[in-house]
Structure formats: C-alpha cells, structure tokens
Amino acid sequence: MEQKTTSILKTRLSEEDCQKLMAVNNSTLHQFIAEYVELCNPDEVFVSTDSAEDVQHIRQSAIREGGEKELAIKGHTVHFDGYWDQARDQKNTKFLLPKGVDLGPNILSVDKEKGLEEIRTILKNIMRGHRLYIQFFCLGPTNSEFSIPAVQLTDSSYVAHSQNLLYRLGYKEFKKLGDSGAFFKFVHSQGELEKGVSKNIDKRRVYIDIDKDIIYSVNTQYGGNTLGHKKLAMRLAINRASEECWLTEHMFLMGVHGPGGRVTYFTGAFPSLCGKTSTAMLEGETIVGDDIVYIREKGGQVRAVNVEKGIFGIIKGVNSKDDPIIWKAFQSTGEIIFSNVLVTENKEVCWIGKEGEVPKKGINHSGQWSPGKKDSQGNEIPPSHPNARFTLDMKLLGNLDPELDNPKGVVVSGIVYGGRDSDTWVPVEESFDWRHGVITKGASLESETTAAALGREGVRKFNPMANLVFLSISIGRYIENHLNFGAKLKPPPPVFSVNYFLKGAQGRFLNDVADKKVWLKWMELRSHKEVGAREAPTGLIPEYEDLKRLFKEVLNTAGGSANGKDYSKEDYIKQFTTRVPENLAKIDRIIKIYRTKVPDTPQIVFDMLEAQRQRLKEAREKYGDYISPDKF
C-alpha cells in the first residue's frame, strides 16, 4: 500500500510539492491524498505549507483564476456564488450512517454504503481541468491540547484563500503529529463551472462520515457548504467531544470589561441573525471569537478557545453606527473577501442595510443589476443577497482580545443563550443553576428562521443551543453531555438568556439596538455576585436601580454626553414583565417536541420544564397573566 501511495504521489505531484507532502510523516495522510488525487483527477496539485509565499500564491491564484476580483481598497476582493448557491444546503447535508445506526428524526442521514457510492461517483474525474489545493490547518491555537489538526482538499482557490484567512496554518502541526496522529479530512470540489460558478447544483452534496472523520462537499462554492473547518468540522468535533467528555459549541467567545480593568470571559450561542456577532463586537469589549468554541474542564473551571482566527460574517445591516469596528475594517486596507454583494463601476461595494443611497446599477450574484430587477420566479432581486458575507482575519479588528492564541484558553465566567423572540423571554435573565440554564434556556432555545439557511424566513424554529443542524449525535445525548459536564465544575458559571427582539403591544421593539451593552455589563457583574436580582418564575432578573445606573454609565447619548441614557421605570416594567400565557405556551411546545421527536430525552428535561410550569401557574394565581417585576 505504501509503495502504491508513493508511486501515485510522485507521478501526480511536482517534485517540489511531493517533497512538501513527504516531509509530513503520516502514512494515513499520504494514502488519503493519493486516493482522492486519483479519484478526482486534477490537472495539477499545489501543496501549501505555512510559508508566506504559499499563502500569497493562493490569494493571487484566486484573482488570476477569476474566483475573486479586486476592489478599490487595497487587499479587498469580491466573490460571487451562483444564484441558487447562496446558503447552507441543509436538505443535502447528510451523515453517512451504517445500517442500524439512527441519530434521531432531526438529523438527516443516508445509508453509508449508498452514500459513499454516490459521492465517489460524483467525485470521479470531477477535478479534470482544475487545480487541486492541499492545505493544512490547526483548529484552535497551535501547541494546545484543545486543538485538532485538519487537512482540506479543494479545487476552488476562493475556498482555499478563505480558509487561510479563517484558520491557523497547520503544516508545522502536521509535521509534529507523527504517523499515528489523527486528524480531520475534507474533500471539496466546486464541480463543473458555468460563468465561473458551480453548474450542477442538482448534484450538490455535503456528506459527513463521522467514523472516518471525513467530509465530502461537491458542486457548490458557498462558504457554509465548502469551508470544511467551519460547521462541517464542528459536526466531527461534536462527536469527538461527546466521546471525550468536553464540548464543541456554536458560540462566540468575548471579554467583557468590568470595574477596575477586570476582563470577564463569556461564551454565547445565538442562531443566525439573532445578534451573535454584534454582541461579540460591542465597542469597549474584546473579541476572542464569533462562531465556534472548544470547551474543556480544567481544575473545576471552564476553559474555552476559539477554533478560528477569522470571521465569515453576514454583512446585511452592517453600518458605521451599530458596527463601528467592522465598519472601520471595511474602510481600511487589508485582506477582506466580500461575497454576493453589489459592486459598482468604481469597484466599491454595497449591501442591504449599508448607509447611503443604493447605487442605480452594478454587478451582483444575479449579474448586471439595477433596482427592480426580478429573477426567473418573479422575485425582486435586492442589491446584495440577504446572506451576503465578508471574510477577514481578526487581526484587522481594533477590539481583538490578546488571549486569542493562548494555548490554555480563557476561563469562562458566563454562558449566554439568545434567539429571536417577540413575545416571551425578557431581555436578560439568569438561570437558577447550571441544570436549569441548560434545559430551560439552552435546550429550549427557539428562533425565527433567516436567509442564512435555504427555505422560508420568519418561521419560529426549535434550535437547542443554536446547534440543531450541526449535531452529529442525538439531541438527548447532547443535552446529557452538557448536564454531565456541569457536574464536574466547582462551581459552574452562571447561565443567562438574552432577547433583543421583545415587542410591545403595538409591535414595536422594547429594546434599543444599543441596550445589549447594558445587559452584558449586568451579566458581568452578576457573574461576580456584585449586583442583586429578583427571583421570577423563570429565573433571576435585574433590579431596576442597577439597570438605571448602568444605562447612565454604559450608554452615551447621540451627542456623546457622559450623562448616558435615562432608563425609566415604565420601560423596566414593560421589558421585565413575566408573560405567563406565552411562557406556558412555550413550555407546551418544547415538551411536545421532546416527547415526540427526541426519544432519548433525559427525564430531568421534563421534570425541570414541569417545575417551571408549576411556578408560572402559582404566580398567575397570585398576580394574573402579566406580572410586573415589582411583584417579585
């Protein structure tokens, strides 16, 4: 086998690239690459090391091959995906499972033998006429027990360039790995191209083999389907974490700056377009990561690392007022890839929600564009896709936390769950304890759907820990892992919920966009037990006087006054009223889901939800359906 592998690599790779590969002493790696070079049959192969020359070569290739085009600001480029290739393809993202293995009705799968036969048939000769890029990465900081080495094969220079911005280079990590070291593996092909985009969307497939730690992605360019080390790798890591008693979570990781220069680290899980990145990017705080974390218990403490070093973020709504740090990066030189935005003849970019007038013409994912243009189904095409993205290395951000690459991670002092909820959750609330937080906040998380996933928008969806579509284990086992993890902690950090989307009787939001700064500062103080709280039936809510003070201290008026913002008692009551009917309805929905769709639900989930129901009913008997926080 080794002789055959060596023969293939020496035949198909240049002498220089073969030497790069052979410098990594891992026979499993060599066999994997040889197998897929033969199957996919690229015209040439480029092996990328950690060198600046190799990294720059990939960026230049993306421009030369047309996957990206240069923009007016130095370092900025734009990429367009095909019109029907603009989001994660959840329908065709499936696990390859052997007969007799079932992860539950919420997790899509295909028979492993049939799935492998199908994907290998699609992959056969798919890279003919293309160039294959082989890249090595480290998921998490280098030289860290948290981290996982990973290799990606792709024939898209755009994907390869994006990966270099998003992940720590790992060629040296692979050289240290040794022959027995395990790693994640990814095979991607954009397939046959038509006008520079994937043509055979009907054969778009994303298949996940958790037994072999391999992911296949074909006939797609969109980053959520092709950047293997993002949510695809997260699925592999969730499975590994479950086996090894740690956690892989869809969470930001940030430093919240408290009194006396104190920095307190929080993780937070939010479904797409629910405020996750905007929270992690708040002015005055520092960001460690905006998307995926590995979490381990060390000496009774929770420690976490950011899997990535960059951001693949939604650009819709980004503006100078609400997102000043990202906005500043957009105006500065440095490598940024914009995808599926509008490009003007001056090589400037526009997107939905960008301040200023929308250009009268330009080029976007639909081709030549002007206001009123419609697609083949009669839908008006906006200037940018609602799921348009930007990709950048976080070193371009002015609020980057110095602990980003700490191999030991940072100590987590609070965990936050938030979704889109117009009528139930209060703006911020602390759980009674770890189990209550995991079950009534994390495992009960709901949110409206967004354009980040194919399908309808505005539908309320059950999304435990904002991780449902990325799970590689059953929901019941996933919840059990969280409960067991918390049992090891001395003590566990507090668990909070936030809701930026609560509405009043007239359908108006009760939170201002900037209010999240205050909720975060309150959570920081609560994690150190420096402010009190009122005990509502669903958790611990802030005292009015504490919020009144924080609104004065944290928020400045539009004119930059140091007097902050006045926070009225009326606003406090509206925001923190316990809405009993809505909370009871939520409990009914969540219990029904767990009873009918999650056969391995731990009994404690039902016990905890029933206890919450009983507290709500008792409160209603005393105070009615809508209970002012002053009653508690």
CATH number of the domain that residue 453 is part of: 3.90.228.20
- Whether residues 180 and 100 share a domain: the answer is yes
pLDDT digits (tens, 9 = 90+) for 100-142: 888 877 789 999 999 999 999 999 999 999 999 999 999 999 9
- Whether residues 420 and 545 share a domain: the answer is yes
| Residue 562: band (very low, low, confident or very high) from pLDDT cuts 50, 70, 90 | low
- Whether residues 56 and 202 share a domain: the answer is yes
Number of domains observed in the structure of the chain = 3
Residue 81 lies in a domain: no
pLDDT at 95 over 90: yes
Output the CA–CA distances (angstroms, integers) from residue 101 to 107, 120, 205, 215, in the order listed: 12, 22, 21, 18
- Whether residues 20 and 130 share a domain: the answer is yes
pLDDT digits (tens, 9 = 90+) for 421-431: 989 999 999 99
Domain edge (last residue) among 374, 396, 418: 396
- Whether residues 338 and 413 share a domain: the answer is no
What's the rounded mean pLDDT across residues 517-529?
97
| pLDDT for res 322 | 83
What's the rounded mean pLDDT across residues 59-81?
97
d(CA 421, CA 499): 6
What's the rounded mean pLDDT across residues 463-470?
93
List the domain range (segments joined by +) for residue 385. Answer: 312-396
Residue with the larger pLDDT of the pair 122 and 271: 122
**AA letter at 417:** Y
Domain edge (last residue) among 218, 244, 270: 244
Residue 84 lies in a domain: no
- Whether residues 98 and 164 share a domain: the answer is yes
SS3 assignment, position 583: helix
- Whether residues 418 and 459 share a domain: the answer is yes
Q: Which two tokens stand for residue 68?
A: 């990206």
pLDDT digits (tens, 9 = 90+) for 14-41: 999 999 999 999 999 999 999 999 999 9
DSSP H or E run through 280: helix 276-280
d(CA 429, CA 437): 10
Q: Report cis status (omega within 30 of 0) of the bond before 359.
A: no
**Residue 72, Cβ density class (10 Å: 0-12 exposed, 13-18 middle, ≥19 buried):** exposed
Mean pLDDT of the chain, nearest integer: 94
Helices (H), 23-170: 27-40, 52-64, 112-123, 157-166
Q: Which two tokens stand for residue 69?
A: 């085009």
Residue 240 lies in a domain: yes
- Whether residues 543 and 462 share a domain: the answer is yes
CATH number of domain containing 239: 3.40.449.10
Helices (H), 298-383: 324-330
Output the CA–CA distances (angstroms, integers) from residue 116 to 26, 101, 120, 237, 485, in the order listed: 24, 16, 6, 21, 35
Residue 222 lies in a domain: yes
User: Residues 192, 200: contact at Cβ < 8 Å?
Assistant: yes
**AA letter at 532:** G
| pLDDT for res 560 | 43
Residue 191 lies in a domain: yes
C-alpha closest to that of 66 among 161, 137, 166: 161
Strand-pair partners of 97: 111
| pLDDT for res 1 | 63
| pLDDT for res 112 | 96
- Whether residues 423 and 505 share a domain: the answer is yes
d(CA 567, CA 550): 9
Domain edge (last residue) among 204, 222, 244: 244
- Whether residues 192 and 300 share a domain: the answer is no
Residue 558 lies in a domain: yes
| Residue 614: band (very low, low, confident or very high) from pLDDT cuts 50, 70, 90 | very high
| pLDDT for res 274 | 85
User: Residues 417, 496: contact at Cβ < 8 Å?
Assistant: yes
Residue 57 lies in a domain: yes
| pLDDT for res 105 | 79
Percent of the chain at pLDDT > 70 equals 97
Cα three-residue angle 439-234-284, rounded to 5 degrees: 75
| pLDDT for res 460 | 77
Taking the mean position of all CA atoms in its chain, how far away is CA 580?
32
pLDDT at 436 over 80: yes
What's the rounded mean pLDDT across residues 354-382?
93
Residue 58 lies in a domain: yes
- Whether residues 264 and 381 share a domain: the answer is no
C-alpha closest to that of 316 among 390, 388, 222, 391: 388
SS (H, E, C) 220-257: CCCHHHHCCCCHHHHHHHHHHHHHHCCEEECCEEEEEE
Cβ contacts of residue 161 below 8 Å, gap of 6+? 58, 59, 61, 62, 67, 68, 337
Task: Tokens 């969806």: give the residue.
Answer: 461
CATH number of domain containing 321: 2.170.8.10
Catalytic residues: 274
| Residue 449: band (very low, low, confident or very high) from pLDDT cuts 50, 70, 90 | low
What's the rounded mean pLDDT across residues 568-574?
97
User: Residues 602, 568: contact at Cβ < 8 Å?
Assistant: no
Residue with the larger pLDDT of the pair 451 and 157: 157
| pLDDT for res 455 | 55
| pLDDT for res 3 | 85
d(CA 618, CA 508): 30
User: Residues 93, 206: contact at Cβ < 8 Å?
Assistant: yes
Q: How many other CB atoms sit within 10 Å of the CB of residue 250?
A: 25
- Whether residues 24 and 153 share a domain: the answer is yes
d(CA 165, CA 161): 7
pLDDT digits (tens, 9 = 90+) for 185-244: 999 999 999 999 999 999 999 999 999 999 999 999 999 899 988 889 999 999 999 999
Taking the mean position of all CA atoms in its chain, how far away is CA 402?
21
Helices (H), 303-397: 324-330
